[in-house]
């Protein structure tokens, strides 16, 4: 199609574009922004001095930022600056894109909304007027609008969704790694809830950030999210015995069309049936109708990104095992994917740490509505990547929705320089840290690799050391602040087939160590990361961490033996991953926590039950059940280019 037919419009055809550019939130009308600030950059761009154009548009953005009524000008100029820098392969494009996102937030607008409106109007105008075009653009069309249309015709501006170059971490202190962080900050499904006693992050934010922390722009934006509630997890008691499993409604014998059905699809009788039906009943009882999301704990509506992955997992498993009618599960799954697509993201980059399941709105560390959120955990985001990949593979009819829900996520900063980064934001200050605890790191990198972003550096296992615990070898993370638990090793086995040889070797030694400890103590041992029913509200139980065997701690990494628990979800996960006598004993020990409404977290070493039930735990139990029903085959085929044996370690055969 020539230039006359494709890009140059009569005045009547340009009118819809004018209206689109004028669109403002809350019905406010405003004139088209003045062309003058954009003119120098456009002149440079037309001369193919793309980098100069980017710098000139950046200057225009800075100059327009000071006045509230020109924030939209500043935001649009920042988008154009990022666009130009990206085309000239300048790593500063990522910084400019973040700037544009923040400016749009302050203006109550977004580039995606403006871009979508413009794209639709351009397509409509081209379709309606392709046979009526006359050479030239009418002088009555505002010059800024002509510039944007020309940029789209030349270089597809209206398809632009952010930089494709990695950010240069040396350009801004906020992007500098500030240490390995404090353990795994993601929390495996329970992060900094607004529990009695205050947030567990009260002191963590300042301790992580150090001198590298920099202020991040905070500006109020309108939100419809309900106010936070000061709910105590499990506060109304969960002592009732298991009475009956969730109703297994098989009246709808036809399941959703799926490519995942293979081998056995029915669970063995007995304990597996009980824990599976109990786990599914948690999701049925805790669903939020407006979003399809599920409470993070029983009657507790705050969730993490990992909880969203857990909800996707539960729905897939329920359909595959026939736990509920497809006529109910398929619309629910579509609803969750739509909610995921529309979730506000931290800094416009990636899903945030915490949301309100009732509305899908961002919440801060205190669970109150937040315009920006509290950062993100790359491990938790990786869990969503895995489960959207599984949904796309299992259900061809949902493939576009599953992959589209994550299509515009921006990983440039989170994976800068080949490392995995997380963000913790509190009180207007952002702290960036390297999020690479053993197990969590490899899982996240494998998920990124699966979706087309290889992270080979993550499989070096450089932090790995060996020691002896209870008379046998254990492979552990040598960094003192890390708290590696069983969770990512179990999930990496069930979902991703064990990832690589070294990862599988760690899985073997971790399971064997817990089995030896159970034999020595005469008590079942299954250690994981769990939401608990008292301050500090979260527990990491480890085989070996910080130079200490059987260390239990919370976010502050300080050892506290009273936090060590027998984790029902971990026991059931091990029972799926290992089909031996000890695994059978673990399953038998865990089934007592199954009840109508979900499988409970477990039991403190003191003998008291943990009076809490979590989404994370019940989702992992459902995954374990599906793994067994599939003949103990992983959900995702293939592996990553990790080592077959653990580097620098001797005598470590792979099972």
DSSP string, 516-580: HHHHHHSS-----EEE-SSTT-EEEE-SEETTEET-EE-TT----GGG-EEEHHHHHHHHHH--S
Residue 302 and residue 249 in one domain = yes
| Boundaries of domain holding 101 | 3-165
Say yes or no to pLDDT of 511 above 70: yes
Residue 146 and residue 286 in one domain = no
Decide which of 308 and 263 is more confident: 308
**Rounded CA gap, 488 and 423, in Å?**
20
Decide which of 649 and 5 is more confident: 649
Decide which of 450 and 21 is more confident: 450
**Rounded CA gap, 75 and 65, in Å?**
8
* Residue 173 DSSP one-character state: G
Q: Give the percent of the chain with pLDDT over 90.
A: 53
**In the predicted model, what is the mean pLDDT of residues 168-183?**
30
Spatial CA neighbour of 539 closest among 464, 470, 605: 605
Q: What is the largest CA-CA distance in the chain?
A: 87
**What pLDDT does residue 515 have?**
97
Say yes or no to pLDDT of 244 above 80: no
Say yes or no to pLDDT of 594 above 50: yes
Tokens of 47: 């001369």
**What pLDDT does residue 649 have?**
72
215-219, 598-602, 603-607: least confident range: 215-219
**Which range has highest mean pLDDT (102-106, 134-138, 580-584)?**
580-584
Q: Is residue 555 assigned to a domain?
A: yes
Say yes or no to pLDDT of 436 above 70: yes
Spatial CA neighbour of 539 closest among 469, 486, 470, 593: 486
Residue 136 and residue 233 in one domain = no
Say yes or no to pLDDT of 222 above 80: no
pLDDT band, residue 182 (cuts 50/70/90): very low
For residues 530 and 614, is the Cβ–Cβ distance under 8 A?
yes
135-144, 173-182, 284-293: least confident range: 173-182
Mean pLDDT across the chain = 78
Say yes or no to pLDDT of 109 above 60: yes
Residue 150 and residue 213 in one domain = no
Beta-bridge mates of residue 430? 214, 425
pLDDT band, residue 257 (cuts 50/70/90): low
257-266, 302-311, 453-462, 612-621: least confident range: 257-266
**Rounded CA gap, 555 and 558, in Å?**
8
pLDDT band, residue 446 (cuts 50/70/90): very high
**In the predicted model, what is the mean pLDDT of residues 305-323?**
97
Residue 136 and residue 284 in one domain = no
Say yes or no to pLDDT of 260 above 50: yes
Say yes or no to pLDDT of 178 above 90: no
156-160, 222-226, 627-631: least confident range: 222-226
**What pLDDT does residue 415 have?**
94
Say yes or no to pLDDT of 248 above 90: no
Q: Is residue 195 assigned to a domain?
A: no
Per-residue exposure over 409-440, b if at least 16 CB sit within 10 Å of its own CB, e if not: bbbbbbbbeebbbbbbbbeebbbbbbbbbbbb
Q: Is residue 649 assigned to a domain?
A: no
Q: Is residue 171 assigned to a domain?
A: no
Q: Is residue 448 assigned to a domain?
A: yes
pLDDT tens sequence across 262-271 = 544 677 789 9
Residue 158 and residue 212 in one domain = no
Residue 219 and residue 287 in one domain = yes
Q: Is residue 634 assigned to a domain?
A: no
Counted domains in the chain = 2
Tokens of 422: 């997380």
Decide which of 373 and 179 is more confident: 373
Residue 154 and residue 240 in one domain = no
pLDDT band, residue 251 (cuts 50/70/90): very low
Q: Is residue 651 assigned to a domain?
A: no
Q: Give the percent of the chain with pLDDT over 70.
A: 74
Tokens of 251: 């009246």
pLDDT band, residue 90 (cuts 50/70/90): confident
Decide which of 69 and 643 is more confident: 643
Residue 26 and residue 104 in one domain = yes
State which of 143, 165, 187 marks the end of a domain.
165
pLDDT tens sequence across 458-475 = 999 999 999 999 999 999
**In the predicted model, what is the mean pLDDT of residues 331-355?**
97
Q: Is residue 364 assigned to a domain?
A: yes
Decide which of 23 and 611 is more confident: 611
**Which range has highest mean pLDDT (72-86, 209-223, 518-532)?**
518-532
pLDDT band, residue 230 (cuts 50/70/90): very low
Residue 232 and residue 345 in one domain = yes
pLDDT band, residue 439 (cuts 50/70/90): very high
59-68, 123-132, 478-487: least confident range: 123-132
Say yes or no to pLDDT of 51 above 50: yes
| CB atoms near residue 465 (< 10 Å) | 15
Beta-bridge mates of residue 530? 539
**What pLDDT does residue 123 have?**
55
CATH number of the domain enclosing 302: 1.50.10.140
**What pLDDT does residue 426 have?**
86
**In the predicted model, what is the mean pLDDT of residues 498-520?**
96
Say yes or no to pLDDT of 140 above 60: no
211-225, 283-297, 473-487: least confident range: 211-225
Residue 128 and residue 232 in one domain = no
Residue 212 and residue 145 in one domain = no
For residues 649 and 464, is the Cβ–Cβ distance under 8 A?
yes
pLDDT tens sequence across 198-217 = 222 222 333 333 323 323 22
Q: Against a cut of 0.85, is the pTM above it?
A: no
Say yes or no to pLDDT of 329 above 80: yes
**What pLDDT does residue 112 have?**
74
Spatial CA neighbour of 526 closest among 610, 622, 423, 602: 602
């Amino acid at each position: 199609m020539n230039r006359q037919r494709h890009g140059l419009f009569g005045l009547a055809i340009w009118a819809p574009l004018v209206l689109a550019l004028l669109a403002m939130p809350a019905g406010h009308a405003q004139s088209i922004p003045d062309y003058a600030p954009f003119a120098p950059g456009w002149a440079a761009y037309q001369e193919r001095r793309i980098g100069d154009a980017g710098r000139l548009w950046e200057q225009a953005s800075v100059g327009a930022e000071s006045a509230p009524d020109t924030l939209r000008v500043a935001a649009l100029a920042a988008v154009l600056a990022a666009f130009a820098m990206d085309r000239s392969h300048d790593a500063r494009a990522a910084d400019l894109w973040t700037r544009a996102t923040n400016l749009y937030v302050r203006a109550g607008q977004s580039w995606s909304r403006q871009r979508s409106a413009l794209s639709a109007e351009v397509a409509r105008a081209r379709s309606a007027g392709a046979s009526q075009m006359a050479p030239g653009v009418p002088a009555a069309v505002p010059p800024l609008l002509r510039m944007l249309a020309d940029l789209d015709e030349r270089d597809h501006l209206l398809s632009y969704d952010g930089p494709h170059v990695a950010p240069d971490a040396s350009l801004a202190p906020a992007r500098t790694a500030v240490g390995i962080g404090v353990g795994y900050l993601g929390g495996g499904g329970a992060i900094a809830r607004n529990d009695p006693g205050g947030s567990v992050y009260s002191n963590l934010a300042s301790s992580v950030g150090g001198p590298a922390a920099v202020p991040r722009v905070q500006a109020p934006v309108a939100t419809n999210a309900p106010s936070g509630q000061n709910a105590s997890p499990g506060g109304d008691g969960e002592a009732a015995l298991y009475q009956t499993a969730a109703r297994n409604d098989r009246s709808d014998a036809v399941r959703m069309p799926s490519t995942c059905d293979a081998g056995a699809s029915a669970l063995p009788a007995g304990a597996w049936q009980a824990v599976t039906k109990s786990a599914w009943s948690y999701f049925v009882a805790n669903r939020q109708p407006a979003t399809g999301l599920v409470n993070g704990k029983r009657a507790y509506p705050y969730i993490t990104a990992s909880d969203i992955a857990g909800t996707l997992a539960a729905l897939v498993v329920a359909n595959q095992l026939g736990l509920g009618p497809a006529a109910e599960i398929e619309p629910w799954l579509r609803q969750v994917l739509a909610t995921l697509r529309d979730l506000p993201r931290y800094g416009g980059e990636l899903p945030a740490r915490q949301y309100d399941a009732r509305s899908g709105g961002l919440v801060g560390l205190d669970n109150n509505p937040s315009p920006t959120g509290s950062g993100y955990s790359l491990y938790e985001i990786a869990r969503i990547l895995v489960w959207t990949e599984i949904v796309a593979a299992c259900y061809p009819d949902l493939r576009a929705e599953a992959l589209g829900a994550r299509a515009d996520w921006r990983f440039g900063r989170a994976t800068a320089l080949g490392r995995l980064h997380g963000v913790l934001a509190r009180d207007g200050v952002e702290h960036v840290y390297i999020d690479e605890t053993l197990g969590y790191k490899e899982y996240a990198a494998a998920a990124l690799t699966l979706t087309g972003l290889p992270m080979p550096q993550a499989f070096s296992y450089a932090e790995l050391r060996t020691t002896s615990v209870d008379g046998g070898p254990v492979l552990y993370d040598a960094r003192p602040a890390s708290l590696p638990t069983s969770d990512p090793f179990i999930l990496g086995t069930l979902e991703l087939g064990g990832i690589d040889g070294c990862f599988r070797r760690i899985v073997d030694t971790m399971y064997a160590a817990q089995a030896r400890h159970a034999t020595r103590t005469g008590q079942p041992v299954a250690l994981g990361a769990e939401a608990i029913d008292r301050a500090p509200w979260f527990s990491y139980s480890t085989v070996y961490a910080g130079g200490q065997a059987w260390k239990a701690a919370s976010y502050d990494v300080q050892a506290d033996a009273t936090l060590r628990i027998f984790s029902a979800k971990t026991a059931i996960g091990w029972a799926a991953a290992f089909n031996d006598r000890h695994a059978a004993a673990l399953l038998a020990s865990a089934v007592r926590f199954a009840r109508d409404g979900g499988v409970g977290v477990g039991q403190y070493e003191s003998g008291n039950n943990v009076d809490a039930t979590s989404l994370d735990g019940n989702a992992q139990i459902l995954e374990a059940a599906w793994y067994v029903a599939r003949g103990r085959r992983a959900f995702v085929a293939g592996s990553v280019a990790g080592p077959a044996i653990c580097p620098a370690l001797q005598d470590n055969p792979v099972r």
